[in-house]
Amino acid sequence: MVGFLVSYKLLNNLPILNRRYPSLDIFPKLLNCCKNKRVFPTIHYNSKEEGLAKQIGSIFGNKIYQEGLCRGLQLNIPWPRIEELEKIKENYPELKIIFQASKDVLNSGSTYSIIERISNYNSLIDYVLIDSSGGNSLDFNEEFSCNFYKELLKKRPKLKIGFAGGLNGENVFLRMKSLEKTLGKIDFCIDAEGGLRDKLSPAYGDDLLNLNKVRSYLSGAKRALVN
């Protein structure tokens, strides 16, 4: 997956200091770079405003979906409303939706109640990303995350489930092999963001993508898959 960050502020031309958000003007060019490659381009969207389906329409309605440039959407939004997801799926039936089980989601109740609530989305979501870090390079709790994975898979066996938090080229091989040992197989996704960037200051998002770190991360993940 190659993820592109978009927010409500970006859609409405409001000031945004986070360097991780590209200008909407260059989105078609960025997505075209992914075309016919072995990648899954995905819009990672966050918003606190009502009318999620309309906002998603503002992103995908300008030929991005119709021309097949992007068929992935990660919702970095705690508990988006079911009726909004229904509208999104109706408008974009081939869109794969990733639900981010963020820190706010994972702290919203018991594991049982959270899994029940996720299950209520039924076929409206295709992936769940267990992600308490949110791009801050914070290591995920492997014991908790694996238990959550197992319980969620019991309830929704067709869901694709991923892990995020603190992954980078230096640790991804060992973390994946540890997950494999606990889960008995590599039947999961992984996601990295902050660990692939160089900080310019302590401020969140004041950093730059480091392609050498990306290559190291991909190399370590591939090594875990084939060994």
Claim to verify: residue 138 and residue 180 sit in the same structural domain: yes
Q: Looking at residue 2, what is its pLDDT? A: 93
Q: Rounded distance, CA 221 to CA 216, Å?
A: 9
Q: Looking at residue 62, what is its pLDDT? A: 65
pLDDT in tens, 87-146: 999 999 999 999 999 999 999 999 999 999 999 999 999 999 999 877 676 788 999 999
Confidence at 68, pLDDT banded by 50, 70, 90: confident
Claim to verify: residue 58 and residue 10 sit in the same structural domain: yes
pLDDT in tens, 159-201: 999 999 999 999 999 999 999 999 998 899 999 999 999 999 9
Claim to verify: residue 138 and residue 67 sit in the same structural domain: no
Look up the domain containing 194 and give its range: 101-227
What total of structural domains would you count in the chain?
2
Claim to verify: residue 77 and residue 146 sit in the same structural domain: no
Residue 175 amino acid letter: R
- Domain end marker among 94, 115, 130: 94
Give the CA distances from residue 63 to residues 84, 92, 105, in Å, rounded to whole numbers and listed in that order: 21, 12, 32
Claim to verify: residue 114 and residue 219 sit in the same structural domain: yes
> pTM surpassing 0.95?
no
Claim to verify: residue 85 and residue 24 sit in the same structural domain: yes
Q: How many C-beta neighbours within 10 Å does residue 139 have?
A: 13
